[in-house]
Amino acid sequence: MMRRKLLSILFLSILGATTLVSCGSSHSTLTILSITEGNVSVMKAGTGSWIETQAGMSLEIGDSVKTGDNSSAEITFFDASTIELEAGTDIEITSLDVSRDTGSTTITLEQTIGNTVSRVTKLVDPASRYEVETPTGVVAVRGSAVAIYVTGDGTTRAMNLGGDIWAVGEGAEVQIPEGQQCIIRPGQQPELIVEIAFADPNFEAVVRDAISVPAGPIYSSDLAELTYLDASAKNVTDVTGLEYAVNLTTLNVASNQISDISPLANLTSLVELGLAYNQISDISPLANLTGLTTVDLWFNQISDISSLASLTGLTTLNLVNNQISDISSLAGLTSLTLLWLHDNQISDISSLAGLTSLTGLGLNRNQISDISPLAALTSLTWLWLAHNQINDISPLAALTSLTDLWLHDNQIGDISSLVQNAGLGTGDMVNLQSNPLSSDSVSTYIPQLQGRGVTVDY
């Protein structure tokens, strides 16, 4: 903590302020700079150049002060309030006023970078104010003390060391409880920094490793720095605390024992999400995560996928091995290019008819008999329909982009539609094993496909 100095100057400052008020002055110049240690420079208002400070230098509106490396300084204002500047700090005095009529005081500073501690005389007059402006907001003090930290990008942290402190930014105002901190990021509203209590020690260990905080408290601001987190296969059962990782773009918590994903509900920056091999049944917390492009939910206990309907930016979706029968919610996900739906209880695939951007579709091991909705999906390069109840494959004739087709374990007899598919040729593969193929299919159509270079398993 910086030392207070020049008590006699402080006394003169208070005396000077009293004199100015009684004389009806509109502003005070009796604001004194003292150097605690090191190199401290001042730019007087309107000069454009930095000068070396002198002991007891008087400061006025428009004056700027900066501290060099291993340097510190203290400014004592006319009302006995002070601001201590640590190394690498740059501030400007933008207002010093005493009202002629009421005697109310105004002190405003602009802190562009660095660390300060302001100790403010209790402002009893409601019209009085002490404010520190930063690149991202304003910290207002009614009395007592606040520490303010400003980084190179303007991010501001304010810690209430005692008293009434507010943070203002982007049209929002937050009162900072005593002993707590607030952060104002560029373009964002102020947010209180809270200490996170994790419910699962295994998840806490993953987070500590990711943020390089091996011991001690973890704050919400620490998690807000995360953009990527891989907590897969870590024996995690509870992801409480994850709600503070508001800037995550990629999250993988696959292969754990997670059932509750409600902490994800407000992680609206997420783009890629891995939740495979867990115990999840309720995916409603995903409904607002409209920035998602990739979601992996295979091997869970999901039956209701209606919450996915709003995720219209999805390009890749994996729902393998769940308990899904109704896929109508997928009808509007027209950006999908890859969709896996194996091992569910799906019989009606009419909702897929409009997903014309699909290049890959997996529907193995369901209860499908009618594949006519697939006729318009001409961008498909691979299509897996094994282990269903299909006998009519005529809708496949138009899917000329196909290179990989799985039809084994169905009820298919006639494969003439595959011969009609002019796109099937050299290097392509068709699996027809475990089907009641007709004699024409075996003796005529399969040899024709093979003659075009198609590998046919039957």
**Are 264 and 348 contained in the same domain?**
no
CB atoms within 10 A of CB 131: 18
User: How confident is the model at residue 29, as a pLDDT?
Assistant: 47
Instruction: Please give the pLDDT value at position 123.
Output: 86
User: Is 329 found in the same domain as 353?
Assistant: yes
Q: Is the CB of residue 166 less than 8 Å from the CB of residue 179?
A: no
Say if residue 342 is in the same domain as residue 458.
yes
**Does residue 297 form part of some domain?**
yes
Reading the block at residue 452, the tokens are 């075009």
Q: Are residues 339 and 444 in the same domain?
A: yes
Contact 240, 198 (CB under 8 A): yes
Classify residue 146: in a domain, yes or no.
no
* In a shared domain, residues 264 and 341: no
Task: Give me the CATH number covering residue 394.
Answer: 3.80.10.10
Residue 166 lies in a domain: no
Last residue of a domain, one of 99, 130, 164: 99
Q: Are residues 414 and 363 in the same domain?
A: yes
**Residue 272 and residue 400 in one domain:** no
What pLDDT is attached to residue 126? 87
Phi/psi of residue 455, each to 5°? -85, 120
Q: Domain end: 56, 72, 99, which one?
A: 99
Does the residue 211 lie in any domain?
yes
For residue 172, give Cα distances in angstroms to 117, 184, 224, 281. Answer: 23, 10, 19, 37
Residue 106, domain member (yes or no) = no
Enclosing domain of residue 418: 324-458
Among 396, 390, 456, 399, smallest CA distance to 426 is for 456
In angstroms, rounded to a whole number, what is the distance separating the alpha carbons of residues 119 and 253?
46
Give the Cβ contact number of residue 73 at 10 Å. 28
Within 10 A of 75 (CB to CB), how many other CB atoms are there? 23
Q: Which residues of 291-320 are buried (b: 16+ CB within 10 A; e: fewer)?
A: ebbbbbbbbbebebbebbebbeebbbbbbb
User: In terms of domains, do 328 and 431 share one?
Assistant: yes
Number of domains in the chain: 3
Question: Tokens representing 135?
Answer: 């690149």
Asked if residues 153 and 116 have their Cβ atoms less than 8 Å apart, the reply is no
Question: How wide is the angle at C-alpha 11 spanned by C-alphas 6 and 12, nearest 5°?
Answer: 95
User: Is 341 found in the same domain as 237?
Assistant: no
Last residue within a domain, chosen from 99, 119, 148: 99
- What gap in Å lies between CA 168 and CA 86, rounded to an integer? 23
- CA–CA distance, 268 with 316 (Å, rounded to integer): 18
pLDDT at 34: 85
Tell me the DSSP string of 146-210: EEEEE-TT--EEEEEEEEEEEEEETTEEEEE-TT-EEEE-TTS--EEE-B---S-HHHHHHHHHH
**What three-state secondary structure class fits 20?**
helix
The torsion angle over the Cα atoms of residues 198, 204, 210 and 212, rounded to 10 degrees, is 90
pLDDT in tens, the chain (458 residues): 333 333 222 222 333 333 333 333 444 446 888 877 899 999 999 999 999 888 789 999 999 999 999 999 999 998 899 999 999 999 999 999 888 788 889 999 999 999 999 999 988 888 899 999 999 999 999 989 999 999 999 999 999 999 999 999 999 999 999 999 999 999 999 999 989 999 999 999 999 999 999 999 999 989 999 999 999 999 999 999 999 999 999 999 999 999 999 999 999 999 999 999 999 999 999 999 999 999 999 999 999 999 999 999 999 999 999 999 999 999 999 999 999 999 999 999 999 999 999 999 999 999 999 999 999 999 999 999 999 999 999 999 999 999 999 999 999 999 999 999 999 999 999 999 999 999 999 999 999 999 999 999 99
Whether 353 and 450 map to the same domain: the answer is yes
Provide CB contacts within 8 A for 354, sequence distance 6+. 331, 334, 376
Rounded to the nearest 5°, which phi and psi values hold at 349?
-110, 20
- Token digits for 107? 């002190």
Q: Note the Cα 112 to chain centre separation in Å.
A: 25
State the pLDDT at residue 103.
80
Same domain (yes/no): 333, 446: yes
CB 377 within 8 A of CB 397: no
Verify that 377 and 400 share a domain, yes or no: yes
